[in-house]
Amino acid sequence: MDITKKFSVLLITAITAVSLVSCGKTTKPEASSDSEVSSVINVKASAWDNLNDKEKDFYKGLEKKGHTIDKDTGYVYIDAAGFQDDWGDTFGNEGIVISYYFGNDEVVHVPDKIDGKKVVNAATPPMWRYGDTNDDYHNLDYTFNIRELYFPEDFQEIRNGFNFCETLEKIELPKSQTEIGIAFFKQCTNLKEFTCPDSITIICKDAFRGCENLTSITFNDELKTIENEAFADCKSLEKLELPDTLESIGNSCFQNCTALKEINISSKINTIPKRAFFACKALETLALPDSVTAINSEAFAHCNSLKEIYIPESVNEIAENAFDECDSLTIKGKSGSYAEEYAKE
């Protein structure tokens, strides 16, 4: 191993976990709860003002499939009963499904109603306006202009994500959302804060990977799982308060969070997985809860500033390279524990 391990015997039976400041919820701008898009029209020549030929062909194709284009609001939509997306998914038979958005607004409140009917979902989250980035699937180019995006509270769960939406700074998901899907916010490089809806139980693989300006994440009390690399490369994230309901975290889930200084780990976590906190270079102290039994390969490797970690008696397995390149580390624990034996090797 590359570290010089030191061990400090603790005579106390418990250690107080690191205290973290909980991130506050954001304030939603004023918006009418029964906001409704007006001036709905069918496709006419005027709807194509300021659109290029590729865009016109695309939207006219949608019109032939029964979609309506509202030139004033930028919404393209269809009755839910007539909608089926590229994967064959449907959204029931009642209400309106938004299929695209080509407006220029930077702050967007998805309406509760369109044409007098309830908006139930967005087939493709309403965010795209064609421009610089190639979408090979539709052979179209698009850019994302929206900085803030808000959904009605009773909106159906959003299936598709917002990955690579580089202007997005803030978003509020509907209360129906139960998961943050795979790569949901991946490379949203300007996303600055996020609060999990109360209904979230899982944050999937790569969900926030590469959100390099994310400084604040507020977890809900129903969260049970954070999957592999979910927050990898979130280089501005400084504090983590993981809820007590959290039962597992995945490999490399906080890898390369280089600004991370404070972590409160859930008392239900049993394993610190492979590379979970790899290269968290600002982390200085950490106390693991008594629920932890194993610390896996390179879990804290290259945490160059890590000076002290408390390892409880419950731990009976520590990978040889778990703390590689932690050159100033002191391991604290109980006399006769596995942690003491490991530190003396």
Percent of the chain residues past pLDDT 70, beyond the cut: 74
| Per-residue pLDDT tens digits for 47-68 | 455 566 766 677 777 777 778 8
Whole-number percent of the chain with pLDDT over 90: 50
pLDDT at 338 over 90: yes
Neighbour-count burial for 51-76, b at 16+ CB within 10 Å, e otherwise:
beeebeebbeebeeeebbbbbebbbb
Q: Which residues contact 144 (CB under 8 A, 6 or more apart)?
A: 127, 128, 129, 164, 165, 166, 167, 168
* Bridge partner residues of 77 (DSSP): 68, 98
- When the pLDDT of each residue in the chain is averaged and rounded to a whole number, the result is 79
- The predicted model scores a pTM of 0.79
For residue 103, how many C-alpha atoms fall within 13 Å in the half-sphere facing its CB? Answer: 22
Q: pLDDT digit string (tens) for 4-38?
A: 455 444 433 332 222 222 233 333 333 333 334 33
Q: Provide the pLDDT for residue 116.
A: 86
Least confident interval from 35-44, 45-54, 225-234, 241-250: 35-44
Task: Tell me the mean pLDDT in the region 233-248.
Answer: 96
pLDDT tens readout for residues 67-120:
888 877 878 888 877 666 554 556 666 788 887 777 778 898 888 988 888 888
**Sequence ranges of the domains in the chain:** 32-150
